[in-house]
Copies of this chain bind each other. A is one copy, B any other.
């Protein structure tokens, strides 16, 4: 799927994406520190195509996953991409995006569904499910999860992301989604995707089973 070459590491420069710092505090009289990362809040959208009863996923190369699949002794300063192909870092996810604009979250969700998946959805099709903390260790940004039913008629564009994003749109049937959450793993997806799939299977899927 991807041609990956020339992988090497360098120190973190002043980064607009990743701002690490130390949080100092006194809890019940005890001085403590905790190392944190400031990241953007985000949205994620469960996109279900009711014309063909398929769940719409996005598939892309994720450096964070690729890096973690390489044995530590083979990722000291660089990685041998012949030995470790890009496929190791491919993730299957819900459509999602960071909130980096001053807009309602619904507008940002609508844009991501169009840019990544190619569906032009009316705002009122977005059902807000809930929001939660994307992590509790080093990052605690808020992610808001939506559910959206789409039809083939709403597919007005190719999808695949904007700028230099390389995103593949992938569809799975309900039995395939069930097989995914029952898989012993390792699953190349984040827990937010698995929560979204379980939510769909538990609360929505029955009406679409044939």
Contacts and interface: CB of A to CB of B under 8 A. Distances in A.
A166 B143 CA distance: 26
Interface string A24-56: 111111111011111101000000000000000
B91 A186 contact: no
Nearest to A144: B185
A15 to B, nearest CB: 5
A91 B34 CA distance: 15
Contact of A32 (B17, B30, B164, B186): B164
A100 interface: no
A187 B132 contact: yes
| A17, A128, A190, A202 pick with most chain B CB within 10 angstroms | A190
Most buried by B among A11, A86, A135, A195: A135
Contacts of A15: 20, 22, 35
B190 A136 contact: yes
Contact of A185 (B68, B130, B187): B130
A130 B18 contact: no
A61 interface: yes
Given A8-B24, A22-B10, A29-B3, A130 B187 contact: yes
Contacts of A3: 27-29
A190 to B, nearest CB: 5
B18 A37 contact: yes
Tell me whether chain A's interface is mostly helix, strand or loop, or mixed.
mixed
A33 to B, nearest CB: 8
B22 A13 contact: yes
Given A191-B134, A198-B199, A5 B26 contact: yes
Top 5 closest A-B pairs, CB basis? A64-B140, A198-B198, A191-B192, A130-B185, A131-B185
A23 interface: yes
Interface in A60-113: 61-68, 86, 91, 93
Contact of A195 (B10, B32, B188, B195): B195
